[in-house]
Amino acid sequence: MSSPRIHPDTIDDVRQRADIVDVVSEHVVLKKQGKDFTGLCPFHDDKSPSFSVSPTKQFYYCFSCGAGGNAFKFLMELGQQSFAEVVLDLARRYQVPVKTMEPAKQQEYQRKVTLREQLFEILTVTAKFYEHALYQSVGQQALAYLRSQRQFDDAILKRFTFGYAPDGWQPLYGYLVEQKNYSVKLVEQAGLILPNKNGTNYYDRFRDRVMVPIHDPNGRIIGFGGRCLGDAKPKYLNSPETELFDKSKTLYGLDKAKGAIAKQDRAIVVEGYFDVVALHAAGITNAVASLGTALNAGQVRQLLRYTESKQIVFNFDADAAGIKAAQRAIGEVTEMAHRGDVQLRILNIPDGKDPDDFLRTHVSDEYNALVEAAPLWLDWQIQQTLKPLDLKQADQFQTASQDIVKLLADIANADTRTHYIRYCAEIFSQGDARLVPLLAENFLAQVRRQRRSPDDAKKTFKVAIKKSALEEAEGWLLRVYIHIPNNRQAVKEALEERDLQLSFSHHRALWRMMLQWQVADEAQAESYPISLLEQLRNLASESTGPLSQVHHLLYLDEKTQRDILRAPLIIRASVACMEKTLCEKRYRYFLKLWEETDLETHPEECSYYQKQSYAEKKRIAELEQERQVAFEDLAGLPWVGEFYGQLEG
């Protein structure tokens, strides 16, 4: 469901009613310290209280990991909810009437909100129906299956609220529609019943199955998974996609695992419900599962919200299907892994066992040892590439070599690439140490050809540095504008004088907003109820768009507080960096036109392009003259060194 356009009056009312200490204390143990409260940060593995909550400012901030914001931001980050969802949840909690900006659509929106609430209620009632049935005579076979074959005790059955869908066409239909008086249409929309071929009646979707409720990250039931007890097909059946349930965006067990993932700084992904339950029963509570679909990048990103080191272990079955599933999952996140966005490892349990089977005959420490020893995804892929091939056969040796080069060529980090080239050379040497240097040299040459020439790679590296320096330069210019009101006019004049624009979308969004607000600060408190900085912090805390990327500009640590005092120099260096980038673009543009224009047929155009490229190059040289001052006075700012290092080069 798309987020409603909530009326600003409603947002303000909720903001005033929702006390941040009240909101945070439901999730964090807070202790009074002076006028503020402190506790362990819920966003990282905090060893000592570094998390501060200010009731006067209605803000929280972690001095260790940098997390910060208001009550809205806290609940958005903790529960991975949208801004609208948080506002609506708090509005219901504090009994604030909800208005939208488009009154004509108020009724339609309210209908959708009501629909979702009704579906949540129906699914919760259904889960209780299934759970009750499990412990009645009708559920004896299902209960015996869970206790004997799966070896789950009653505590774990209760924790995961296992149930049983009785055999027959309409047991659940009769309970929900005839006894509880729920609308047939709503029960169908919840994915629990289906119309018969004639459309004259309905029958239960789940029949004679062990039932596993599926929860969202906040613990609300959004669907079910059912495992048949007889010969029915399919063996596993999930709820269909509904207003609440999308299996491609859902991870089973995340509601119970997210705390352990954050604490252990690692997530384990397995293939099925019973693997998750078996791991949790063994005390390994950082495990989740995909729901019958290939694990995708969006699901991986969900997990990355809870682990600081980005460690994820794929534990798929070691059979052909499991290997294929692992390969598909790796394919989804290869780019993320190459960038270092995820530290991915692959675990295949020996003898082709899944976690559930393994834990029936082994203790949890043995499983944890396998997790610790799980190879990095690239090592695992190298193993899988070479596994079916005989390197003693010339044709297979060549095939393996070509496949390995393709893997190695995608590694972005040079040190990592060098490590794997040496590693593969040792494998291909087949124990003959004399061949290792020759094979490594051969691999290196092939990898270079596969990637691009060293000169091109060097240029790409320079462009990457340049972009990073430019973003830092713009960021410091915005810091000066935000935190030092006396220099705001100087920032505006510097940009206008050189006709410069900010290059990054999140910087432009912030700049436009500040200009629209006509720069309110603490010195103008009589005209403005809150400062520009407070307004920005409020908005950035509640935003999931471009403004969410400028959060770091709104807070100064001890070092940046000192650095920003040199505002005039920062302004000078920042605009120089921005102008140089612009000049270089124009220089390359005119030079390209000059090279592509025929001198004999278009002499005037050639002369013009040559003059323009020369003018841009001259301006770049003038910017280089500022180098000495910047090095001497702003040496503490890394981007200045990068920028002027490029000029010097």
Q: What is the pLDDT of residues 286-304, one digit of tens each?
A: 999 988 777 888 888 888 8
Q: Which regions of 131-175 does DSSP assign to beta strands (E)?
A: 163-165
- Rounded Cα gap, residues 429 and 401, in angstroms: 12
Structure tokens at 424: 């593969």
Per-residue pLDDT reduced to its tens digit, 487-516: 888 998 888 888 888 888 888 888 887 877
Contact between 587 and 604 under an 8 Å Cβ cutoff? The reply is no
Computed over every residue of the chain, the mean pLDDT equals 82
Write down the pLDDT at residue 525. 39
More confident: 111 or 98:
98
Question: Is 50 exceeded by the pLDDT of residue 367?
Answer: yes
Structure tokens at 398: 């060549």
Whole-number Cα distances in Å, 419 to 416, 423, 424, 444: 5, 6, 9, 11
- Rounded Cα gap, residues 376 and 118, in angstroms: 45
Per-residue pLDDT reduced to its tens digit, 184-198: 999 999 999 999 988
Check residue 175 and report its DSSP letter: I
Instruction: Tell me which of 96-100, 275-279, 428-432 is least confident.
Output: 96-100
Instruction: Tell me which of 160-174, 420-434, 527-541, 552-566 is least confident.
Output: 527-541
At 66 the three-state DSSP class reads: coil
Whole-number Cα distances in Å, 625 to 151, 463, 585, 648: 76, 22, 20, 10
Contact between 113 and 244 under an 8 Å Cβ cutoff? The reply is no
Whole-number Cα distances in Å, 416 to 227, 377, 379, 421: 44, 13, 12, 9
Write down the pLDDT at residue 105. 61
Q: Which regions of 82-220 does DSSP assign to beta strands (E)?
A: 163-165, 193-195, 202-204, 209-215
Q: Is the domain 108-245 a CATH 3.30.450.80 member?
A: no
Write down the pLDDT at residue 462. 40
Residue in the structure block whose two tokens are 């060097």: 458
Average pLDDT over residues 217-227: 92
Q: 164-174 burial, b for 16+ CB within 10 Å, e for fewer?
A: bbbeeebbbbe
Question: Is 80 exceeded by the pLDDT of residue 36?
Answer: yes
Delimit the domains of the chain by residue range.
8-101, 108-245, 249-382, 388-451, 458-648
Write down the pLDDT at residue 108. 64
Write down the pLDDT at residue 396. 92
How long a stretch of residues is the chain?
A: 649
Per-residue pLDDT reduced to its tens digit, 381-399: 999 999 889 999 999 999 9
Per-residue pLDDT reduced to its tens digit, 76-105: 888 778 888 888 888 887 778 887 766 666
Provide the CATH topology of domain 249-382: Dna Topoisomerase Vi A Subunit; Chain: A, domain 2 (3.40.1360)
Instruction: Tell me which of 145-154, 389-398, 570-579 is least confident.
Output: 570-579
Residue 236 falls in which region: left (phi positive, over 0), alpha (psi -120 to 50) or beta: beta
Average pLDDT over residues 323-347: 82
SS3 per-residue string spanning 438-496: HHHHHHHHHHHHHHCCHHHHHHHHHHHHHHHHHHHHHHHHHHHHHHCHHHHHHHHHHHH
Q: 38-72 burial, b for 16+ CB within 10 Å, e for fewer?
A: bbbbbbbebeebbbbbeeeebbbbbebeebbbbbb
Question: Is 90 exceeded by the pLDDT of residue 150?
Answer: yes
Question: Is 50 exceeded by the pLDDT of residue 458?
Answer: no
Question: Is 60 exceeded by the pLDDT of residue 541?
Answer: no
Q: Identify the band that residue 634 occupies on the pLDDT scale cut at 50, 70 and 90.
A: low
CATH number for the 8-101 domain, one of 3.90.1150.10, 3.90.580.10, 2.40.128.120, 3.90.79.10? 3.90.580.10
Residue in the structure block whose two tokens are 């209605």: 58
